[in-house]
Structure 1
Amino acid sequence: MELARLDLNLLLVFHHLLREKRVSAVATVLGMSQPAVSSALGRLRSSLGDELFLRTQRGMAPTPYALQLAEPVAAALDGLQQALNVRASFAPTTSERRFTLAMTDVGEMYFLPVLMGALAQSAPGVTLNVVAVTSVSLKDDMASGRTDLALGLLPQLQAGFFQQALFRQPYVCLMREGHPLATAAALSLNDFAAASHVRVIAAGTGHGQVDEALERQGLQRRIRLTVPHYVALGDVLGHSDLIATVPERFAQRVTAPFALTTRPLPLTMDGSAIHQFWHARLHKDPGHQWLRELVAQCFGDSTD
């Protein structure tokens, strides 16, 4: 068929249906009503002479013809978007753009309070959507533009992505203020090993290096509790004699609210380098450049 006879907006709906698999999700992403998305799909089916998507229990499944169209349509839309972004401008004071950021629960506690305060001052209409870095589709989501920026210690993004170092931080020992070890001028290795520990897995991040470093030094800890993330750690430590090895800037966020204190680790361990990561497709996007600069201003360490 001739391209002039096709409403190109329908291809945008088609592209997002391939990604989202659900009419409701596409409506949210494109700011349309669900009936409008269904109507657009109906018009596209009529124009192309194919069902394109079939309803299943797992959402809208593409037909073979839709799968054939997927890559060239995505490439065409991406090329058009990049061409438009080259000369596009971004005015933070009036923009209502939504950015999707990937981070850990530690990142949410550390980054979001400061970042939301900065947005309130300089870009009150800009909104954020936060997703977990543990998603198995993080790389694909960033390549497709579903996720704009990732923050943290993320070894899976070291290759194939732009990155900027924000800061480096050591690991510290975290415990409640009334802990028997809290009054010690310095923790001994024996006291550290004999204490009851919380181990944080933090899947999808590089913080597992804590366990690896301790194992390399032959240190056997008494692990009394293992948790998948950091979010409940403040409460747990505040109501027990457990201790935890955590990133320093996480400790800074939870010491006062949960009456905790820190001590230097009694062993040598590399710290963690926190970066922001983004895909090449957004490298020259003015809005994205502004966001990266804001993150760097709020959290960047001049020594990095």
Structure 2
Amino acid sequence: MTLQSILGNFALILFVLMVVTGVIWVLDLVVFSKQRRAAADKALVEYDERMARSAANGIRMDEQGNARSKLEADILRQPTWIEYSGSFFPVIALVFFLRSFLWEPFKIPSSSMVPTLLVGDLILVNKYTYGIRLPILNKKVVQINDPQRGDVMVFKYPKDMTQDYIKRVIGVPGDKIVYQNKRLTINGQPLAYAPMEDYLEEGTLSYQKQFTEQLGPVQHRILNNEKMPMSLQADDFPGREACTYNYEGFSCVVPEGNYFMMGDNRDNSADSRIWGFVPDKNIVGKAFFVWMNLGNFNFDRLGGIR
């Protein structure tokens, strides 16, 4: 693992911080605090003896109680590095637990999921709906649900596991996916499409053809660019022998334990058509909520993802 990949892995950084601050917090609880208590008790005994000798010699000391309390407090006070570690540890541990097992925030970096998701959208991803996975290793330990056609899913990019991608689940294991003339057929059943008003894509200031697509129980919007050809330059990827490509499109049979993903911005998305299938082990979670977009704030867009 390179330094760049480590710095780009926020979960790993958070885990290291949690371990370091947790170890310091435990050491302070079982070792350092007891050492400070012993040092304070010794200093107080010496202080009391000193005060007793002074009193025996007729020397009166003012505000002895305050001085004694201050001496004890100074010795018992935690060093700054221990105090900060103890303060940050529960916060870091809580954040690590929430984003590892419940919900993780993501920011949409590209336009591949327009019009469903816009560049800069801040979304929440459900980390447990597809099963509980070990943090960092992303190894599933508890099976819960399988991804369904139409789900918007975050996953590790198969060609670079340090990158998170987001696309829509088009095909599940065993499905035969046919994409011809920019229309999908799944297991011999053509999907239903209905035209909508042309969509103005803000990034390019160009109009795209917009349709609703009925993918199982999920109806969502897609974009098509009529100027873009159907022919694709596919990479070499595991399972490519299950796919055939021609000028009009392609067909693929999804291997067991894999998923076929596509962006809703169909002619502006590098997805399973290009780089192949997504293994189950790469799954991060299901995107389910848009909660903010600082560059394109619109209350109407906030809420659940379809």
Same fold (TM over 0.5): no
The structure with higher relative contact order (CA 8 Å, sep 6+) is 1
TM-score (norm 1): 0.22
Structure whose CA Rg is larger: 2
The structure richer in helix per residue is 1
